[in-house]
Structure 1
Amino acid sequence: MGNIQVALLTVLMFFLLVSLHEWGHFYFARRAGILVREFAIGFGPKLFSIKRGETRYTLRLLPIGGFVRMAGEDPEVVEIKTGQTIAIRIKDNRVTRLYLDRLDERSDVLRGEIKAIDLEKHLYVTLDVDGDVERFDVHPAALLIARGQETQIAPLDRQFGQKPVGKRALAIFAGPVMNFLLAYVLFALYIVLQGVPVDNPTKILIAHVEAGKPAAAAGLEKGDWVKSINDTPIGADVQLFIDKIEASVGKPMNWIVERDGVDVPIKVTPDPATGKVGVVPTGEARKPGIGETIKFAGTSMVDMTERIFEGFRKLIFGEFKLDDLGGPVKTTQLTVEIAKQGFAQLTMWAGILSLYLGIFNLLPIPALDGSRLLFLGIEAIRGKPIDPNRESMVHFIGFAMLMLLMVVVTYNDIVGLVRH
């Protein structure tokens, strides 16, 4: 792959992983009747923003995740109090817009002092307009306009916290589920692209040649069949293939490979520093059937899940050092290297990342989906919710700690790049 193609596929992969996760939250929140205020990819300052229907879609500066902001999850930023002077616009006998500032610039509006207001339950506002007190019904999708921003009101029946526990849990759980489904599809696609091992294989083929390495300089190509090394037939013995290379570090090796039905002699010298030649060997493969694809995709999911939890175990018991952890920079660097190996390898890597993202988000860590599901589970058992302010504080602290960890591992990634 060319550098531009690799860069585009890397960006597309991360965008797909995050977008599908957030789409799961978004879709089931909308199905539950929850007002979704924002669908965001990334964090930090906005780079791009567009509003469609009730939801604003944004692309933000820091590509380290995303979020779906639902009404009622956090305290509303726009407050209206009695005694405040506002302007309202009325259509079909209901208030559709409430202006909180720059009142003299508004046209076709009615100005007055608020005597009473309820924008969540009964949806009305009572104004004193030049000494006349009058009550106005408010449209359930009315807009609050202040500081140049429009904010749709959120009646109680559109707020996250007012929905049944089951619907709220589904809206939260749907994000990781989308990652699991995507991982399964990507594993299946990888199997279709790569094939499955044949019974009783007889060949070792070159699956990938790394640019700038001894194999590439010697003229080896993807798809070459390695028949012998230093006059020793290799057959289908991958370990023998590896042993031959490791035994010849810094020494020229005589390979015979078959390419397009013709035997081609190749002289290649393993790198004295790494002991490698820069190839990825693979066995013979055949196209899988539908049943095999379904089966092997499921097996891949199970095997990779076990490896991910083994990684968590090592992390918990201190078997990893800080240098072993990678942040966005190291992950991107690794993704680029894998993308250079081909679309099939990038597909498998994307499946692994999607599976990891789904599992990680279900951990009971504050600010993650798992923690929010834990609070909902406690609410279901208690029969009443935990104080929203306390829950918000827990999630805020958790988010701050995650961002701090992200800064540390990113700094570590950058230092590692500079050192190399």
Structure 2
Amino acid sequence: MTDNPGILLTLLAFLIVIGVLVFVHEMGHYLVGRWCGVKAETFSIGFGKEIAGWTDKRGTRWKVCMLPLGGYVQFAGDMDPSGMKSKEWLSLPAAERNQTFQSKSLWQRAAIVIAGPAINFIFAILIIMGFVIAYGTSAALPIAQQISENSTAAAIGMQPGDRVISVAGEKIDLFEDLQQKIIMIPDQNVEIVYERDGQLIAGQGKIGVNIMKDRFGNEYRLGLLGMSSSQVEWREVSPIEAPVVAVEKTAAIVDQITTTLGQVITGKRSIKELGGPLKIAQVSGEQFKMGLETFVLFVALISINLGFINLLPIPMLDGGHLMFYAIEAVRRKPASPKVQEWAFKSGFALVMVFMLVVTFNDLSSFGLFRALSG
């Protein structure tokens, strides 16, 4: 029997997650835009019909809209997705034109764009800092206390007392690092280097697969090495050290995201495992029901994902804009309007196809198509 959070709690949790993170992301764009002297005409949480809003003394319309799957800051003069200097922009009075996005230098435009993803990472780092200060961090070494029979660890010859040095060329310092690496590569052949009595031994083996089910009935396909450690240790983290620890943990999460994305692209992981808004809503409700601390950590995780995705070099995303700014910096002039128009239309199509795929995956995971087929 599963512990379902219910539709109302799921919807509430999802709105909190999306609302907070979209606000944080767009606030990054807004604040740096203001610092660069750009007027923001609209700050919107959601798309479509306005539900509520107000206009501040600077002329910015702050509003909440019907469809909560995102948001945007509309800067003055930003009349098309590529931000090109159109005839409408050229016809503006000089004083008004100086407050537009297009009037700013290349580095200022890049700073405004990158501020959104950057503040998502900063927001997550601050949350993680709070947790490591309150609870400390793992200090257990990757030393085997027990080796399971017929496991990957046994197959490559590991014995109790051996210390894992690296997995697939990636250095392992703590047992937590080993866990995070292994769970992301189920059923993959990798080289594992371990140390015994001062000697390094390299073993090649296929990571096992552990199918786990949580209290909500969700199944997870995780990698399994077959090695346990009894040296579970925790240490306190000072406020001075906390930023470093939080950045390291954030970097580890980004590494997991890139590993997963690489596995999907290379076919090592099924695209069916990718989830979309409906899956995020489901997990939001589940994490909310598990408690405030678990939910806040989930918000940090989604914030990191949002920052990472927006930095991908896909037109229509922040990373796509930054890609064109890099081209402009090298060429000393922007890409042609036709190239930018083609790229942004292609980027929009790619994003829409991706959304359709992950939404199809979400509906499939909920059993909708099985129910329709009887």
Q: Same fold (TM over 0.5)?
A: yes
- Matched with 2:75 is 70
1:18-37 to 2 correspondences below 5 Å: 18-37=22-41
Q: Offset at 1:350?
A: 1.5
- Matched with 2:309 is 360
1:289 matched to 2:238? The reply is yes
Aligned partners of 2:257 and 2:240: how far apart in 1?
26
Q: In 2 relative to 1, CA 277–34 (structure 1 residues): closer, same or farther, beyond 3 Å?
A: closer
CA contact (8 A) 1:191 1:293 kept: yes
- Matched with 2:124 is 183
Secondary structure of 1:63's aligned partner? strand
1:87-102 to 2 correspondences below 5 Å: none
CA contact (8 A) 2:139 2:233 kept: yes
- Matched with 1:405 is 354
Higher relative contact order structure (alpha carbons within 8 Å, sequence separation ≥ 6): 2
**Deviation per residue, 1:275-302 (Å, 9 max, x gap):** 97959xxx78676432453343122112
Secondary structure of 1:158's aligned partner? coil
- Matched with 2:247 is 298
Alignment partner of 1:385 out of 321, 334, 344 = 334
- Indicate the larger mover: 60-69 or 41-50: 41-50
Q: In 2 relative to 1, CA 390–197 (structure 1 residues): closer, same or farther, beyond 3 Å?
A: closer
1:54 matched to 2:3? The reply is no
Aligned partners of 1:335 and 1:325: how far apart in 2?
16
Q: Which amino acid aligns with 2:321?
A: R
Alignment partner of 1:395 out of 327, 341, 344 = 344
CA contact (8 A) 1:187 1:347 kept: no
**Deviation per residue, 1:278-328 (Å, 9 max, x gap):** 59xxx7867643245334312211211111111121122122323211000
CA contact (8 A) 2:10 2:281 kept: no
Q: Percent identity?
A: 30
1:120 matched to 2:92? The reply is yes
Aligned partners of 2:275 and 2:342: how far apart in 1?
28
Larger strand fraction of residues: 1
Q: In 2 relative to 1, CA 178–277 (structure 1 residues): closer, same or farther, beyond 3 Å?
A: closer
Secondary structure of 2:314's aligned partner? coil
**Deviation per residue, 1:137-171 (Å, 9 max, x gap):** xxx5xxxxxxxxxxxxxx32122222110111100
Question: How many residue pairs are counted as aligned between the two chains?
Answer: 276
Q: Which amino acid aligns with 1:25?
A: H
Q: Which amino acid aligns with 1:39?
A: F
Aligned partners of 2:291 and 2:19: how far apart in 1?
19
Alignment partner of 2:287 out of 338, 356, 364 = 338
1:261-280 to 2 correspondences below 5 Å: none
Q: Name the TM-score, length of structure 1 as normaliser.
A: 0.58
- Indicate the larger mover: 188-197 or 325-334: 188-197
Q: Which amino acid aligns with 1:191?
A: V
What is the RMSD of the two structures over their aligned residues, measured on CA atoms? 3.4
- Matched with 1:159 is 100
Q: Offset at 1:7?
A: 5.3
Q: Offset at 1:186?
A: 1.4
- Matched with 1:349 is 298
Q: In 2 relative to 1, CA 394–177 (structure 1 residues): closer, same or farther, beyond 3 Å?
A: same
Aligned partners of 2:133 and 2:73: how far apart in 1?
34
Q: Which amino acid aligns with 1:13?
A: V
**Deviation per residue, 1:41-92 (Å, 9 max, x gap):** 223333333322322222223222221122233259xx999xxxxxxxxxxx
Secondary structure of 2:65's aligned partner? strand
**Deviation per residue, 1:264-283 (Å, 9 max, x gap):** xxxxxxxxxx997959xxx7
Q: Offset at 1:371?
A: 0.9
CA contact (8 A) 1:188 1:293 kept: yes
Secondary structure of 1:290's aligned partner? coil
CA contact (8 A) 1:49 1:57 kept: yes
Secondary structure of 1:386's aligned partner? coil
- Matched with 2:258 is 309
- Matched with 2:111 is 170
Larger helix fraction of residues: 2
Residue ranges of structure 2 left out of the alignment (5+ in a row): 142-210, 217-231
- Indicate the larger mover: 347-356 or 359-368: 347-356
Q: Highest Rg: 1 or 2?
A: 1
Aligned partners of 1:275 and 1:120: how far apart in 2?
60
CA contact (8 A) 2:275 2:359 kept: yes
Aligned partners of 1:197 and 1:378: how far apart in 2?
43
- Matched with 1:45 is 49
Q: In 2 relative to 1, CA 275–358 (structure 1 residues): closer, same or farther, beyond 3 Å?
A: closer
